[in-house]
Structure 1
């Protein structure tokens, strides 16, 4: 329940449209719901602008299902990351409108729509192998009401592919750049645009890539100004931060 809905509820009590008992029942889950194995933060959107997101890795199928089942009683869209197909199958039984992105490993349940801003977020990947992380970023940004433009497989090994899409990239309000190997694409993009760049290192690469550590260090050491870096394979973090910037 956001601030506006809370005000509306109090007005309905004042105007005797609903009883105090009913209003109390509606508020009983604030500020969080204790499920025993999880405490769901119902006030998060009021504090930070976006509702809580379910991180599924390490959780059992029943735990994910139980969390989704409670969150489905609220008005917010639901996003679950790092979700397996088996988790989705169980969630689908209680949420018929649940959708699964196999590449991103995300489950979404759309409960309300947003009027997209004119501005958009560009999600740019170095290679096709980086798409799963890019999709996680894109799904996150989209479920929070952003328009997303996807520009995939434009890495530095064929720089002409990037230059061909430069107008679309420059038109974005914020750019998410996803790259593995040596992670050079973030620096290249950062040197070509006047918008904030969120760099996402991926674990894509051969042995000396050290499961994304090489890309992470390259991005952190970028000589291009305006480049910030999230953790390895953290498409969700990039999509979330991009959403915050785009709504400013």
Structure 2
């Protein structure tokens, strides 16, 4: 490995007493990159630097590339999160990761796959989820919106949040919203994620009822003109309900990250999160 001038300056600063050990560790987190073949440069310390796990987007990667990247994350961080993975590819990836031949880490490796959300998760035997810190409410307008919602949930759980779910609560039967929304507010959710296709009205309705931030996720479920998620996106962007912010179409991961950061920040304000320095 070639000499990195900035890395050298950081270490020389520690040696000279110009910065503390904690300050040096914080700076070093910026430099952790794992090269995988000629096709990937992995930000393996993203969760340490930002508190946000890396999420692997499966489309566009070959099976061999995806397997190599997942294996490297398992070695480096003890977990790997994969989204938009088709079921047949999930079967192949599971078999490859749990094949014991020439792979000492295969024993005890845990693998799960949610077919409806196309979400694949692999853990090394010693991996444990982060301590719970923060609560998020997760609502969908319809059952067809659940796959994107579960992408958001995947990220939030791996950022240490408890997720309260309330699915199929859309405006076509608005009375269905009362129970899950009340439960989320009463249990102390710091932020709500609302996933909705069609006209996307649920996000505006919810934002008009609560005193916490609402993150709208427009989804590409619907008919004809605007059914690709654009109608829901425009509706959420033009909402007159204050406190509603919106991510892009089908961006469950982005919504999950933003919601978890809000929830954890709120929880930290009430006291230290387990395992987090102040």
TM over 0.5, shorter chain: yes
Aligned length: 221
* Aligned pairs (5 A) from 1:155-234: 155-170=170-185, 171-234=188-251
Q: What is the alpha-carbon root mean square deviation over aligned residues?
A: 2.0
Task: Determine the C-alpha separation between the residues in 2 that align with 1:40 and 1:107.
Answer: 18
In structure 1, what is the equivalent of residue 37 of structure 2? 35
Q: Is the 8 A contact 1:68 1:91 kept in 2?
A: no
Task: Determine the C-alpha separation between the residues in 2 that align with 1:124 and 1:33.
Answer: 38
In structure 2, what is the equivalent of residue 114 of structure 1? 130
Give the counterpart of 1:82 among 81, 84, 90.
84
In structure 1, what is the equivalent of residue 57 of structure 2? 55
In structure 2, what is the equivalent of residue 94 of structure 1? 97
Greater displacement, 73-82 / 152-161: 73-82
**How far did residue 130 of structure 1 move?**
0.9
**Do residues 104 (structure 1) and 117 (structure 2) align?**
yes
Q: Is the 8 A contact 1:127 1:154 kept in 2?
A: yes
**What is the SS of the residue equivalent to 1:134?**
helix
**How far did residue 76 of structure 1 move?**
4.2
Q: Deviations over 1:187-208 (max 9, x none)?
A: 0000000111110000111102
- Structure 1 consecutive aligned stretches of length 4 or more whose deviation exceeds 4 Å: none
Q: Give the unaligned 5+ runs of structure 1.
A: 1-9, 11-26
Q: Give the unaligned 5+ runs of structure 2.
A: 1-10, 12-28, 99-108, 266-278
**What is the SS of the residue equivalent to 1:158?**
helix
Task: Determine the C-alpha separation between the residues in 2 that align with 1:182 and 1:198.
Answer: 16
In structure 2, what is the equivalent of residue 138 of structure 1? 153
